[in-house]
Amino acid sequence: QVQLVESGGGSEQAGRSLRLTCAASGYVVGRNCMGWFRQAPEKEREGVAVIYLGGVSTHYHDSVKGRFFISQDSAKNTISLQMWNLKPDDTGMYYCVAGHVRGQQCNTSPFGDPLNAWTYWGQGTQVTVSS
């Protein structure tokens, strides 16, 4: 049984940093794509960052490029999202995802449709950024 457990969310002021971690069980990180999605109130869920094959390539939403960094720790079987220079628009529930339906071809459409591209989702961790 695959479980993804996020941690590290919280409340921060704009300009500060947070680090999210996703611990995977029943799933080996580095297989295909893993990533982070987020959903703000009354907004659609959107892809934030994806890591392919442990770092062969990474992909970011335009709004977080240069501020967020996704990484993997194979020894701990985790992925992380380091977030710098947080903005109020970063507020939302952040979800760890794994099991892209395209398998090793996931790099061709790294975010995919959040409704059907990912098999496994964590429960989410809340990030709140105040101005």
**What is the per-residue pLDDT across 41-96, written as a single tens digit (0 to 9) for each?**
899 999 999 999 888 999 999 999 999 999 999 999 999 999 999 999 999 999 99
- With CA atoms as reference, report the closest residue to 43 among 68, 61, 17, 19: 61
**Phi, psi angle pair for 62, to nearest 5°:** -55, -35
pLDDT grade, residue 31 (50/70/90)?
confident
pLDDT digits (tens, 9 = 90+) for 84-128: 999 999 999 999 999 999 998 998 889 998 889 999 999 999 999
In eight-state DSSP terms, residue 57 is E
Other CB atoms within a 10 A radius of the CB of residue 77 amount to: 16
Residue 1 has pLDDT above 90, yes or no: yes
- Tokens read off for 64: 């977080």
3-state secondary structure (DSSP) of residue 29: coil
Could you tell me which residues come within 8 angstroms of residue 50 by beta carbon, excluding any fewer than 6 positions away?
Answer: 33, 34, 35, 36, 58, 59, 70, 106, 110, 111
* Cα–Cα distance for residue pair 88/13, rounded to 1 Å: 8
**Region 12-35: what's the mean pLDDT?**
95
Which are the contacts of 125, defined by CB distance < 8 A and separation ≥ 6?
Answer: 6, 7, 8, 9, 20, 93, 94
The pLDDT, as a whole number, for residue 54 is 86
According to the model, what pLDDT value does residue 123 have? Answer: 97
Nearby residues of 80 by Cβ (< 8 Å), 6 or more positions away: 8, 19, 20, 21, 22, 70, 71, 72, 73
